[in-house]
Every structure is written in C-alpha cells, then in structure tokens.
Amino acid sequence: MAAEENTQDLQNKVQQKESKKEDALTTQMFPHFTPLLNACQSYAQESGNRFRLIDFETKSRDCSEVVNEFRRRLIDETEKGLVQEFHMADKFCNNEVFLRSMQKTLESLDLWHSNPKYDEFCVHWQDMEQSIEAISAQLFNYYKIRPVSNGDVLTASFIADFGYAYGMEEMQGARNLKEKTKVFMDKAMKYARRNDKKIETAGLSEEFKKWMESNQDDILMYGAMGILAAGFAALAMRSSKR
C-alpha cells in the first residue's frame, strides 16, 4: 500500500503526453527482470505502467505464468540478482520522487532556469549546505544531461510495485532522503519569505507536503498562505510500515 502511494505520485507525472511506445517498459537497467518486463508489456500499457496484484487475483492473464514464476524466484527463493535489482528500482523511485518534487518547488519559486554563475558542467546539486539558488541552478543543469528516460522511471516503478505487492521489504535508504527533504524545504521556505513567493503543492510528493504540514506556523509567517498537506509522507510511511 505504501509503495503504491509513493509510486502513484511518480506515475502521474511521467505519463502525461507520452506515447505508448515511449511508455513501454524498458529492460536495459534491470536485466534480471527482462523476461517479466517483456511478458508484461501489454498489461503495463493497459494498467498505465502499474503492477496491481488485484489484476492477477481476479483473472488469468497472458503474463500470469511469468508473473508467478518471478514471484517465486523473488519471494520464495530470494534470487540474489532479482533482490538487488528490486532494491535498485525502489531506490530509483524514491530518488525520482524527491527530484521531481524539488523541481516543482523551484518552479513555483521562479528558480528553475540556468544561472550564468554555474556553467553547464556544474551539477553538484546534492550539496544541501549551499544556497537554494546554487542548488536550483545545478539541478537544472543535471536534468539537461542525465541519461534517464521516462521509460526507465516507469519500469522502476513497475518493478517496485511488483515486489511490494508480494511482500518485499524496503531497505533503510529513504531515511537520508527524508533529511534532505527537511533541509531543502527549510531553504525553500526561507527564500519564499524573503521574496514574497508562494510554494504550490500541486506536483509535490507526500514527503514534501508532510514537511509543510508539520511547519504550518512557519509557513504562515513566511506568507505562503493556503498551503495544506494531504496524507502522510510516502517515504516516511514506507520506512515506518516495515
């Protein structure tokens, strides 16, 4: 359930204006899952690139046999290559939700653009000790050169859905992202206060909304009126639930 809430936010963003060919599951990043991904291509297009267990509990599908095989290999036999790629896909999804929420926040602050102070090869946005202007400029540069397609994002989400649907447990990598979220949002709110800006919540992950909900007093002081958070933080839920 928690994994579905986390990946749903991601799926909604990357599927817009994409053709079926572009949305097809890719196999380059996850070679151990290739037979499953190939078998599920038609189902993935039907489901919007989601894996939902109920779809296989209510009817038999062309890919049901392969799905059952990979369930056995991943869950019952804990095949090393599959387990490693599942955790890689899960981490990838968490990172993508974090990055896309950062982008949406920076867009609402009118900071999502190039900055002549940082040439195109400056991509050190991970350093959260620098100014939000520096983070924004370097994240903007990173987005222009990173070798990740929407198909890769959708495929990672599909694999994460698959693993969590059958009971896989997550690793503890989300904790670091939660701390980064706190630091980044603190910088964003201070910038909003200084420049009379409002951070829009549309397009933000639940982790970002949770931070805003827990800091409503500061938000009101900063003048970012009308901001309400809905639900629990997806990353936090995935950590605490397991």
Reported as a single tens digit per residue, the pLDDT across 50-60 is 999 999 999 99
Residue 9 has pLDDT above 80, yes or no: no
Please tell me the least confidently modeled range out of 22-36, 130-144, 185-199.
22-36
Tokens matching residue 78 = 């804990």
The backbone region for 231, taken as left when phi is positive above 0, alpha when psi lies in -120 to 50, beta otherwise, is left
Give percent above pLDDT 90 in the chain.
56
**Does the pLDDT value for residue 233 go beyond 70?**
no
Please tell me the total count of domains within the chain: 1
Pick 118 or 205 by higher pLDDT.
118
Which domain, by its residues, includes 16? 2-241
Assign 70 a pLDDT band (cuts: 50, 70, 90): very high
Question: Once rounded to an integer, what is the mean pLDDT over residues 78-100?
Answer: 92
- Chain centroid to CA 81: 22
**How is residue 68 written in tokens?**
């059952």
Q: Looking at the whole model, is its pTM more than 0.85?
A: no
Q: How far is CA 129 from CA 39, 64, 125, 135, 184, in A?
A: 45, 49, 10, 9, 9
Q: Are 8 and 237 spatial neighbours (Cβ–Cβ below 8 Å)?
A: no
Q: Cα(161)–Cα(141) distance, rounded to whole angstroms? A: 30
Over residues 66-84, mean pLDDT: 97
Question: 168-204: b or e for each residue (b if 16 or more CB lie within 10 Å)?
Answer: bebeeebeebbeebbebbebbbebbeeeebebebebb
State whether residue 82 is helix, strand or coil.
Answer: helix
d(CA 96, CA 46): 23
Percent of the chain surpassing pLDDT 70:
71
| Model confidence pLDDT, tens digit, residues 92-106 | 988 888 898 899 999
Alpha-carbon distance of 36 to 126, in angstroms, equals: 34
In this prediction, residue 94 carries a pLDDT of 86
Lowest model confidence (mean pLDDT) among 20-29, 39-48, 181-190? 20-29
CB atoms within 10 A of CB 163: 26
Q: Residue 30 has what pLDDT? A: 96
